Structure 1
């Protein structure tokens, strides 16, 4: 069932069905911009263009370029300088939500946490109780 939402681009109301995040008018505008960007990138000399160069020439926003790369409409395999920002550090990435560096940091932190947890469990299991002898001073 559709729900009534405001278009994030123009502010108009539209029926959100889960397919498009914007109203029909803005979706047509985005599609026209996509066609312009794709025509620009199809030319051999522009395939290695950076995001800044594409924005400069076509007038499309970086956010829209990132959205198209994230959705797979513009593929970094064909256009090597395209990507979208890592959700953690903002560095460009081409897959997932995190860049390789942030993924490695996260994995390292998880390994350290698991090792510390295993150590705590081992200490708890081996600790059968410590008995202290009552030493009286003589």
Structure 2
């Protein structure tokens, strides 16, 4: 366990994982998230500046929630962030669908593909060779 200062209030706390916030600041941030989520749900055509002012949350915090895919927006919403790969406007996450597909394909190419297993050939299938059955009656 590690002791850190809270980024929100500056108090010392036992840090386990996640954002460096004490439990009380983390709870307050979760309550702010719920407030933002409800406001966006009630006002679907709102822009990020208005959400920031009404809910008293920084724009960078709203963008972080979008990147974490905690907040997502409809296609007709005015809120959007840039894809980290190509810069196109997206509504949630870090990458657009095309960049996600490229990354997935790139990761798939990292591992060598197994060669197809060839079944052993039956020597009786070779048309050039002939076999005589021992049980044949002459």
Q: TM-score per shorter chain, which class? A: 0.5 to 0.7
Residue 27 to residue 92, structure 1, CA distance change in 2 (3 Å): farther
Aligned to 1:5, the other structure's residue is in SS state strand
Q: Secondary structure at the match of 2:64?
A: helix
Q: Distance in 1 between matches of 2:21 and 2:45?
A: 30
Q: Which has the larger radius of gyration?
A: 2
By percentage of residues, which structure has more helix?
Answer: 1
Question: Deviations 1:25-83 (Å, cap 9, x if unpaired)?
Answer: 1111111111111121111xx11211101012111111221121111110134783334
2:68 counterpart of 1:71: yes
Is the CA contact 1:6–1:14 (under 8 Å) kept in the aligned structure 2?
A: yes
User: Contact 2:5 / 2:20 at 8 angstroms: preserved in 1?
Assistant: no
- Residue matched to 1:96: 94
Taking structure 2 as the reference length, the TM-score comes to 0.55
Corresponding residue pairs, total: 97
RMSD: 3.0
Q: Is the 8 A contact 2:4 2:20 kept in 1?
A: no
Paired residues of 1:47 and 1:78 also in contact (CA < 8 A): no
Report the equivalent of 1:34: 33
SS of the equivalent of 1:37 reads: helix
Q: Distance in 1 between the 2:78 and 2:89 partners? A: 9
Q: 1: distance between equivalents of 2:19 and 2:72?
A: 20
Unaligned runs of 5+ in 1: 104-138
Q: In 2, are the aligned partners of 1:67 and 1:84 still within 8 Å (CA)?
A: no
Quote the Cα distance in structure 1 between the aligned partners of 2:73 and 2:19. Answer: 23
